[in-house]
């Protein structure tokens, strides 16, 4: 049995290109006792993976050149020498970017019995959904009376954050980069949408969209978005810093916001987080979101590329705004 | 009776100059029933006052051109028609920048009976001391095992923050702008001192001073200091944003730190605060600090200018690093 895998060929300088990746075919050994062979059916590409392509100390070690990339994946057990993972079981893992792998169960989670599509565990029922919920409730202490600004609002995390905040009773403003995405956001019930590519002044656009000011900013973007949010925050506002996608491909250090004095003037809290630190609370999230889905209260979109060889293109597409909702690769 | 007062003549562009101030002599009316006449004996100049010289919405309204400035002051009642403030009582107020004023008791606090010098209620027993304590404990949740970095560490707030953190068991690194101030800081028991004017690379200087990393940053400065702190923070570090003095006199917007991604990578919390929001806890602070002083555990310095006409010079001196400890004007 062979596994097709995407390896990191070289570290990207700026926006990743196809050259930074190679497709390798690796023979897999025979299964030993206690092992299983998994065929991946879906894999996730996420903006945070860009950070792991840089050779630096971080919360997860950097990807190594000449080795397979990693990331969320859903697969099916096709051979088993392990009683807990019979053939036909579906498992989620961090062993994406490959068609097959052998495991002994470590780091694998069997999908629960649900009527949800498997790939939802890479999106709304998985890391992106849990990220949205964690940022809003565990970092920003979301209250029903809050006005919430969410950047990259049509993405995997943003589109779920918008809906959770609406269900909690909040007024929600989202920013997106196209009219099509703006329409999508309106279809989710968001109160006001900013197309940042058409706004000449993001501070003014946000002031117009939220004349009452912003209590919570769910930060996915950085740069001008953060500056505009700081200018429009209300006293005691909270900023959950989830991502800074505008910075990820920068080849030179990007200056930060010139208005950090707003932190003092408005007594703001700004806090970065990594969802994996909060994973002990996943059950709480999954129960709540499962119920919202059963009640028909949430929607989600997927942008799907097909075939392992398309994975680099899907990943690069994240930085070109090619996805609406969760970007996935079907294997 | 006349009151000599410093008025704002014009809004400073950049660092304030003598031209921005005028000394006015204003006749005071006769005392009415329920009123007192106070002769100020000490007044405070503080960096935050620079912010009130800008015409913008903030937590306190801006100073008005052609009117007396305001700030912390200690005075003595010299005429009284008010039973709660007999002649000879000492009062603290926000009615500094003037030699005399008439009041009805509103906004005035009688100094407690202590053996402390009156002006300590403008320093270690007043707003600057309370600011240091609030930032460390109520914002940064200081723990005895923490390594703490304090910028502007020889100033009124910084020098108290250094000593409180040391008494709490922390390792303390301070940054200052001269060798004389560095010596002063060492005399307070600080573990390592950085003279930022001599450091070619503040990130490296801080890494050398705190190879174990920084858990809490008490931010008084901004700019390169913040960038260096972010680079040296440990996971789950806390940044209490008290002041950004490097920005106060900027005539153009100053770019913020280029490494805000550290907020995510290291899961940091950064929070701005205004001490007046925490004033309900002043009694707790004053009891604790009074005890430390009685036990001879804390030291403080004062830099004193004499005469109301010197007040602008004292204020301007804050931005030239002219003070060690609390900058005061004796009236």
Stretch B255-268: mean pLDDT: 95
Q: Does B262 touch chain A (CB under 8 A)?
A: yes
Confidence check: pLDDT of B31 > 90: yes
B58 — pLDDT class (breaks 50, 70, 90): confident
Between chains, do B272 and A267 touch, taking CB under 8 Å as contact? yes
Per-10-residue mean pLDDT of chain A, 331 residues long, equals 97 96 97 98 96 85 95 98 97 98 96 95 97 98 98 96 98 97 96 97 98 98 97 98 92 91 96 97 96 96 97 96 94 97
DSSP-assigned letter for residue B237: E
Taking the C-alpha atoms of residue B143 and residue B327, their distance in angstroms, rounded to an integer, is: 30
Confidence check: pLDDT of B318 > 90: yes
DSSP-assigned letter for residue B277: G
Q: Does A223 touch chain B (CB under 8 A)?
A: no
Per-residue pLDDT, B252: 87
Domains (range + CATH), chain A: 2-123+300-330 (3.90.180.10), 127-276 (3.40.50.720)
Between chains, do A226 and B260 touch, taking CB under 8 Å as contact? yes
Taking the C-alpha atoms of residue A117 and residue A236, their distance in angstroms, rounded to an integer, is: 40
Question: What percent of chain B stands above pLDDT 70?
Answer: 100
Chain A closest-CA separation from residue B24 CA (Å):
30
Q: Does B60 touch chain A (CB under 8 A)?
A: no
Between chains, do B267 and A242 touch, taking CB under 8 Å as contact? no
Taking the C-alpha atoms of residue A241 and residue A221, their distance in angstroms, rounded to an integer, is: 9
Stretch B176-186: mean pLDDT: 96
Per-residue pLDDT tens over the stretch B61-104: 899 999 999 999 999 999 999 999 999 999 999 999 999 999 99
Chain A residues with CB under 8 Å of B245 CB are: none
* Residues A219 and A139: beta-carbon distance below 8 Å: no
Between chains, do B256 and A254 touch, taking CB under 8 Å as contact? no
Per-residue pLDDT tens over the stretch B228-245: 999 999 999 999 999 999
Taking the C-alpha atoms of residue A218 and residue A148, their distance in angstroms, rounded to an integer, is: 7
Q: Does A275 touch chain B (CB under 8 A)?
A: no
The token duo for A280 is: 């002990």
Stretch B283-288: mean pLDDT: 96
Taking the C-alpha atoms of residue B314 and residue B156, their distance in angstroms, rounded to an integer, is: 13
B287 — pLDDT class (breaks 50, 70, 90): very high
Chain A residues with CB under 8 Å of B226 CB are: 260
What dihedral angle (degrees, nearest 10) is formed by the CA atoms of B37, B42, B43, B45? 180
Between chains, do A260 and B241 touch, taking CB under 8 Å as contact? yes
Per-residue pLDDT, B61: 87
Residue of B nearest to A276 (CA): B267
Taking the C-alpha atoms of residue A200 and residue A222, their distance in angstroms, rounded to an integer, is: 17
Average pLDDT, chain B: 96
Per-residue pLDDT, A59: 72
Confidence check: pLDDT of B260 > 80: yes
């Amino acid at each position: 049995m062979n596994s097709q895998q995407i390896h990191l060929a070289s570290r990207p300088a700026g926006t990743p290109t196809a050259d930074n990746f190679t497709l390798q075919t690796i023979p897999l050994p025979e299964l030993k006792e206690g092992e299983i062979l998994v065929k991946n059916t879906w894999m996730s590409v996420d903006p945070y993976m860009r950070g792991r392509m840089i050779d630096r100390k971080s919360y997860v070690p950097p990807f190594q050149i000449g080795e397979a990339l990693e990331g969320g994946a859903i697969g099916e057990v096709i051979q088993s020498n392990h009683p807990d993972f019979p053939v036909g079981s579906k498992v989620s893992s961090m062993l994406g970017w490959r068609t097959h792998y052998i495991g002994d169960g470590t780091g694998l989670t069997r999908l629960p019995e649900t009527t949800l599509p498997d790939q939802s565990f890479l999106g709304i029922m998985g890391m992106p959904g849990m990220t949205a919920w964690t940022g809003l409730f565990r970092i920003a202490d979301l209250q029903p009376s809050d006005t919430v600004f969410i950047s990259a609002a049509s993405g995997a995390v943003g589109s779920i954050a918008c809906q959770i905040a609406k269900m909690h009773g909040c007024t929600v403003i989202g920013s997106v980069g196209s009219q099509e995405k703006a329409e999508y956001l309106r279809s989710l019930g968001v109160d006001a949408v900013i197309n940042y590519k058409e706004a000449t002044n993001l501070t003014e656009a946000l002031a117009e969209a939220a004349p009452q000011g912003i209590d919570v900013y769910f930060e996915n973007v950085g740069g001008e978005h953060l500056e505009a949010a700081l200018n429009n925050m209300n006293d005691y506002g909270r900023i959950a810093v989830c991502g800074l996608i505008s910075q990820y491909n920068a080849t030179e250090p990007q200056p930060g916001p010139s208005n950090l004095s707003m932190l003092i003037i408005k007594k703001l809290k700004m806090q970065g987080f990594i969802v994996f630190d909060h994973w002990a609370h996943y059950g709480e999230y999954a129960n709540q979101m499962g119920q919202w889905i059963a009640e028909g209260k949430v929607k989600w979109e997927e942008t799907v590329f097909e075939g392992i060889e398309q994975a680099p293109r899907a990943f690069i597409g994240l930085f070109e705004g090619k996805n609406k909702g969760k970007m996935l690769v079907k294997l």
